[in-house]
Chains A and B, each alone.
Chain A
Amino acid sequence: MNITQKQEGGIDIFSLNGRFDAHCAADVEEKLNDAISRGARKLLLNLEGTEYISSAGLRVLLAIAKKLKKEGGQIKLCSLQPYVQEVFDVAGFTQIFTICKNLEEAVGDF
């Protein structure tokens, strides 16, 4: 898993490339938590390069979403690939996350 990070108009954008599995979950969580600790309240996860997610990845997303909600922030996701979308549907995550079609739409949605 390769994680790149940038800021655009007050939004912290993380692009995840590779399998979002149990092996990298702790690393992703740490990077997102670091951003929140530094004061980030608008997080955008670009999942264009993520073709696979397991429950470990879902767990990180849920934990971060809960934490941000408590802090008055929000997380949005964009560019879900077909398999990730399917896992989201099965796990009931489609209803609890804001999911945008692409990066542009997501940035405009904040």
Chain B
Amino acid sequence: MSENNNCLTLEASLKSLNAVHDFILKKAAKAGLSRKKINNLLLAVEEVYVNITNYAYPNDKGKVSIYFSMDEKNVTLHIKDEGVPFNPLQAPEPDLASSLKERRVGGLGIFLVRKLINDVRYERDKQYNVLTLTLCREKVERDE
């Protein structure tokens, strides 16, 4: 695992999730985000990271890098892996109206990311999957 100012690189493993959360908490505090926005960011990064640990490297170990940046308006995270090409935004949306019996277990992660983060983009850049999460720093009316 390596961490410089605004980038955390680690082996994709569920065991390292706490290190990912700690990195986000540290950066989010710097950005002065509300408790709710910090949680939105923690959740979004967790969902993307867990997806990578599950799918990106089926036969081998591999790395994930998380880059943090911010400007006056937004906090931006780029999450990058070298695994098999995979666009999580193509996952089908869950059926939220179904009953307990019919409700499918799983498939909620990326749905939550889309709902709780202002902008989510996927790009295949050479051998990398890059997912970009943008969260608005400003307080908007529906925030609290």
Contacts and interface: CB of A to CB of B under 8 A. Distances in A.
A62 to B, nearest CB: 5
Contacts of B106: 55, 59
Q: How large is the interface on A (under 10, 10 to 19, 20 to 34, 35 or more residues)?
A: 20 to 34
A62 B103 contact: yes
B21 A21 contact: yes
A54 B18 CA distance: 13
B121 to A, nearest CB: 20
Contacts of A82: 36
Contacts of B8: none
Q: How large is the interface on B (under 10, 10 to 19, 20 to 34, 35 or more residues)?
A: 20 to 34
Contacts, number: 67
Nearest to B104: A62
B139 to A, nearest CB: 16
A56 B100 contact: no
Contact of B35 (A59, A83, A92): A83
B99 A96 contact: yes
Contacts of A86: 36
B73 interface: no
A87 interface: yes
B2 to A, nearest CB: 21
Contacts of A22: 14, 17, 46, 50
Top 4 A-B residue pairs of the complex, sorted by shortest distance between their CB atoms: A92-B96, A55-B109, A55-B108, A23-B17
28 contacts: A19-B21, A21-B21, A21-B46, A22-B14, A22-B17, A23-B14, A51-B39, A54-B42, A54-B43, A55-B47, A55-B106, A55-B108, A56-B46, A56-B50, A56-B109, A59-B106, A59-B108, A62-B105, A63-B105, A66-B100, A66-B103, A69-B100, A69-B101, A86-B36, A87-B112, A90-B112, A91-B94, A96-B100
